[in-house]
Structure 1
Amino acid sequence: MKITHIASECAPFAKSGGLGDVVYGLSRMTLTLGHTVKILIPNYKSHEEKIEKELFDSFPIKLDGESFDVRVYKAIFHEIEVYTIDSTHSKNLFQRDSIYGENDDPHRFLCFCYFALSFLSRHLSESPDILHLHDWPTGFSSCFLKFLFPDLNKRIKGTLFTIHNLKYQGIVKKNHLDYFNLNPDLLPVSYNQMDNSEYLNIAKAAIEEAKVCVVVSNTYLNEIKTPIAGEGLQDFIKERSDKFFPILNGIDTDFWNPEKDPYIHKNYRTNELIDSVIEAKYLNKHHLQKQLNLARSHAPLFIFVTRLVEQKGPYLIFEAIQQILKRGGQAVLLGSEPSKELKSLFESISDKENLYLDFTFQEKLSHLCFAAADAIVIPSLFEPCGLTQLIGMRYGTIPVVRKTGGLSDTVFDIEHSSLPLHLRNGFVFEYPTLDSMDYIINRTIDCYKNNPSTWKSLIKNCLNNPVGFQESAKKYLYLYEMIIS
């Protein structure tokens, strides 16, 4: 099969969160299983120098009276063809300092969808069987395909739309489509924003046009059918339940590999004796403590690797850090995108010997943190899938999570009596309250200090947990084949 992903991110070219990791990891595994994979993403300013690319195609476009060129660059990364797209458009659509967060994001990504399809239309003989779209930024590709690119549409067997996070849907005035010479009166009413027919809901339109929709965990699929996480689309989704399928994300186990990781101090094999793993993790802990000017200590080390946005429960994170320090532990926060108020709040904690704060995402440092830490805390208010708990388990770092979305499907409490012991791999709490946060931190520290045999079992269970993309890729391939047939 030939699969083309149109996405707003792909690691390492462009990465804001887990989406970029998933697009790359899934593509690499699909390629390994014998299929042809291409990826199309915008050519962002902030990431344009990461990997060498060459100009592959350039062509003129005229939209709304403005003529400009679309430029397509090609790179080969681990045998995957990655095409990055920008233009000479006067609005400088992608050569900006960040991937998201601009006032004109809907316009930027609608343009990207249009440019991507225009590029594919210039190479019809290489048309994919499947167009795989990811979240609202590329979701409208299937709609443009239907109304504006008939020749390409005939060659593509169908589109698959993966929902990584339904909170973000892409809302834009319908008359904005005049810019693309698409009469908004032609659009079905199912594209409309739920409470305002003058607006288009891009995620809703993508769901309507896709032959298959994937949600990144079974629990999150159930949640988006309710007001808890449906973000106003729960009834719309329930009416189309037959096209929805859950597939858990995985991680790239070659990139996240403690045996070969170049960014950690002491490498270790995940299948060696547990005492050897613990010794290696301790050496990494000592190295991290020295690097970050933390006190050298055998105290439990907790890490937080996250964006400090509402979804991730920043006030629960703040409470957890305070409780960890109160109980004599250490904490490292790699927390990107904080508001000024949140940054000031975290900086108000005074214990600098046992707390390290970094408000940017440092890729290399995150690897060392995963190898050094005893536990990773993820108290998300909602979490479609989550990747950091999987990375933590890959490195023998025990996840401490809230019971929501994909965290519910991947982390099981040590006292989960209905599960066999070998499947229990962490500490889980249910309610997003400060008391619940304190309780789960205390349980974790008590186990670390007072029950070393149980702690060893948890590490072993984490290391034995399959977290790669192989099963996920096989499930996607089944759905691709279902679309084609």
Structure 2
Amino acid sequence: MYIAMVSAECAPIAKAGGLGDFVQGLSRELARRGERIEIFLPFYDVANLDVFQNLYEIQPSLSVPHHDQCLDCCVLGGEIEGVDYRFIDPRTSRDYFRRGRVYGEPDDAERFAFFSRAVLEYLLHSERPPDILHCQDWQTGLIPVLWSEIHRRLGLDTMRLCYTLHNLGYQGRVEGDILRQVGLDPLRLMHPDRLLDPNDEGMANLMKGGIVHAHFVNTVSPRYAWEVQNTEQGMGLQSLFQTHAHKFGGVLNGIDDAVWNPERDPLIPVNFGPNTLPLKAANRRALRTRMGLVEADKPVFGIVSRLDRQKGVDLIRHAIHYLLAEDCQLVLLGSALDPDIDEEFQRLKQATSESQDCRLNLEYDESLAHLIYAGCDMLIIPSLYEPCGLTQMIAMKYGVVPIVRRVGGLADTVHDANYSDKPFESRNGYVFDDPTEEGLEGALRRALGLWRRFPEYFRQLRVNGMQTDFSWSRPAARYMEIYEHLRSQ
């Protein structure tokens, strides 16, 4: 099967978050299964092109309709591990993708709307269109709309579109003029059953457009799919999901076991696995040495997270104070885009700088992330909402017991040591429900009690998590079922 992925990011070329890991991990697994995979990305000036042995021009001049004219693009190509990559490079004085970063520009909507039209124009003039066009998040939400309104009639009618939603906190709410820019009619599309935003009269919602016009829509965990239909997590789109329930579902993400595997990880001092778990202690010592923590008979808690409201920053801050009062150690790795949150954690870093039990690193460091997973005992994830989450799966792979709030993918992957209905060998962490200090403290207290009083049971929780299959194998098989279903329509 020929599957084209369209995304604003893909690791390790251009990654800003979990979306980049998703596109890389799923694409690589599908390619291993013998499928033909092509990934479309903007040609960012910050792209890591060192991963390509050869990057070449596929189409030196692609004409893309834009406002009342056409813009010229160059399409470049490369290949990594059996996956083909296609880069859209517009030749315009606007320098859409030469901004020094992936996101965060005032004209993001215009940039990605143009990218969406350019991808379809390229496919329209290619020798063979893909069987499946798999779009990601709001940045590509206009692709199903463009296909339905324009490109289906021009020769792409056999193509089927899958649309994956990674975070409903970002829906692409824009002025309707963006539609006219790429050749769409705002008067035709700005209606409640099409692109009109339900929360902001007069605005277009690009994610809503993708949901309405795609052949299949999914979130990145079954629990999150239920939440966006039935709770405030739908962020205004609950009724839309209920209307389109016949083509909507949830598929849990995987993690890339070529990158996240303590038995082969080159970024940690000592490799280990479920059968060699005592070797994890050497990584704990290395983590303490690197971070300047005292060597002591105390559990080490980790936090690896973006610092924003979604991730429960108030609960993260409370956890730090609580655990230090309970004579524990803690290492935090995370950064904040919000200046108020950044200032708050900079003050907290300064306030804890003299402690031998606490270190806060407020900028991302890939090698430190690996060492935290390898060295810590428990990981705290108190998210207010979590479409899937990868940190809890990575943590369990590294013998770390996660302490999470029961939302989204966290609820699908973490099964409480005390209260789960699963057998003990399937339990792997601690879960709390209420996003309150009391709720978090209850889970932390139970986890600490097991670590201190019943070390063998705590060890078994570690092993249970390590032996769980979080690879891309099962998610890829589920996506193949979806693709086959779409092709049969």
Q: Any residues of structure 2 matched to 1:162-173 within 5 Å, and which?
A: 162-173=164-175
Partner of 2:260: 256
SS of alignment partner, residue 465 of structure 2:
helix
The alignment status of 1:375 with 2:378, answered yes or no, reads yes
Give the whole-Å Cα distance in 1 for the aligned partners of 2:302 and 2:224: 25
Give the whole-Å Cα distance in 1 for the aligned partners of 2:487 and 2:443: 47
Task: From the superposition, tell whether residues 155 and 426 of structure 1 become closer, same or farther in structure 2 (CA, over 3 Å).
Answer: same
Deviation string, structure 1 residues 323-360 (Cα, Å, up to 9, x no partner): 12222221111112243333334324324422222222
Give the whole-Å Cα distance in 1 for the aligned partners of 2:292 and 2:299: 16
Give the whole-Å Cα distance in 1 for the aligned partners of 2:469 and 2:329: 28
Task: From the superposition, tell whether residues 417 and 312 of structure 1 become closer, same or farther in structure 2 (CA, over 3 Å).
Answer: closer
Give the whole-Å Cα distance in 2 for the aligned partners of 1:127 and 1:152: 12
Indicate conservation of the 8 Å contact 1:401/1:429, yes or no: yes
For structure 1, which segment, 181-190 or 205-214, has the greater mean C-alpha deviation from structure 2 after superposition? 181-190
Indicate conservation of the 8 Å contact 1:2/1:130, yes or no: yes
Tell me the number of residue pairs that the alignment of Structure 1 and Structure 2 aligns.
479
| Shift in Å, 1:153 | 5.0
| Shift in Å, 1:36 | 0.8
Task: From the superposition, tell whether residues 156 and 375 of structure 1 become closer, same or farther in structure 2 (CA, over 3 Å).
Answer: farther
Indicate conservation of the 8 Å contact 2:176/2:190, yes or no: no
For structure 1, which segment, 460-469 or 168-177, has the greater mean C-alpha deviation from structure 2 after superposition? 168-177
Q: Any residues of structure 2 matched to 1:63-82 within 5 Å, and which?
A: 63-64=66-67, 68-82=71-85
| Shift in Å, 1:268 | 1.5
**Residue 480 of structure 1 is aligned with which of 474, 478, 483?**
483
| Shift in Å, 1:182 | 2.4
**Residue 353 of structure 1 is aligned with which of 356, 359, 362?**
356
Q: Structure 1: give runs of 5+ residues left out of the alignment.
A: none
Partner of 2:160: 158
Q: Any residues of structure 2 matched to 1:82-481 within 5 Å, and which?
A: 82-123=85-126, 125-150=127-152, 154-187=156-189, 189=191, 190-196=194-200, 198-270=202-274, 272=275, 276-277=276-277, 279-338=278-337, 339=339, 340-350=342-352, 351-481=354-484
| Shift in Å, 1:152 | 6.1
Partner of 2:20: 20
Indicate conservation of the 8 Å contact 1:130/1:156, yes or no: no
SS of alignment partner, residue 307 of structure 1:
coil
Give the whole-Å Cα distance in 1 for the aligned partners of 2:161 and 2:70: 30
| Shift in Å, 1:146 | 2.4
SS of alignment partner, residue 377 of structure 1:
strand
SS of alignment partner, residue 261 of structure 1:
coil
SS of alignment partner, residue 78 of structure 2:
strand
Task: From the superposition, tell whether residues 367 and 130 of structure 1 become closer, same or farther in structure 2 (CA, over 3 Å).
Answer: same
| Shift in Å, 1:66 | 6.1
Code of the aligned partner of 1:360: E
Give the whole-Å Cα distance in 2 for the aligned partners of 1:220 and 1:187: 28
SS of alignment partner, residue 234 of structure 2:
coil
For structure 1, which segment, 182-191 or 356-365, has the greater mean C-alpha deviation from structure 2 after superposition? 182-191
For structure 1, which segment, 146-155 or 300-309, has the greater mean C-alpha deviation from structure 2 after superposition? 146-155
Give the whole-Å Cα distance in 2 for the aligned partners of 1:440 and 1:269: 26
Indicate conservation of the 8 Å contact 1:257/1:394, yes or no: yes
Deviation string, structure 1 residues 401-421 (Cα, Å, up to 9, x no partner): 011111011001100252211
Over aligned residue pairs, what C-alpha RMSD do you find? 1.8
Give the whole-Å Cα distance in 1 for the aligned partners of 2:345 and 2:154: 48
SS of alignment partner, residue 385 of structure 1:
coil
Code of the aligned partner of 2:90: S
Q: TM-score with structure 1 length normalisation? A: 0.94
Give the whole-Å Cα distance in 1 for the aligned partners of 2:90 and 2:361: 35
Indicate conservation of the 8 Å contact 2:109/2:178, yes or no: no
Give the whole-Å Cα distance in 1 for the aligned partners of 2:445 and 2:267: 31
SS of alignment partner, residue 131 of structure 1:
strand
Partner of 2:47: 47
Give the whole-Å Cα distance in 1 for the aligned partners of 2:348 and 2:117: 42
Code of the aligned partner of 1:233: L
Give the whole-Å Cα distance in 2 for the aligned partners of 1:65 and 1:213: 32
Give the whole-Å Cα distance in 1 for the aligned partners of 2:450 and 2:311: 25
Indicate conservation of the 8 Å contact 2:66/2:114, yes or no: no
| Shift in Å, 1:8 | 1.0
Code of the aligned partner of 1:26: L
Give the whole-Å Cα distance in 2 for the aligned partners of 1:94 and 1:377: 36
| Shift in Å, 1:322 | 1.4
Code of the aligned partner of 2:462: I
Give the whole-Å Cα distance in 2 for the aligned partners of 1:197 and 1:315: 32
Indicate conservation of the 8 Å contact 2:220/2:251, yes or no: yes
SS of alignment partner, residue 232 of structure 2:
coil
Q: Structure 2: give runs of 5+ residues left out of the alignment.
A: none
SS of alignment partner, residue 403 of structure 2:
strand
SS of alignment partner, residue 4 of structure 1:
strand
Give the whole-Å Cα distance in 2 for the aligned partners of 1:352 and 1:83: 49
Indicate conservation of the 8 Å contact 1:7/1:133, yes or no: yes
Deviation string, structure 1 residues 245-297 (Cα, Å, up to 9, x no partner): 11111111121111111100001133x2xxx31x2111001111112222223
SS of alignment partner, residue 214 of structure 1:
strand
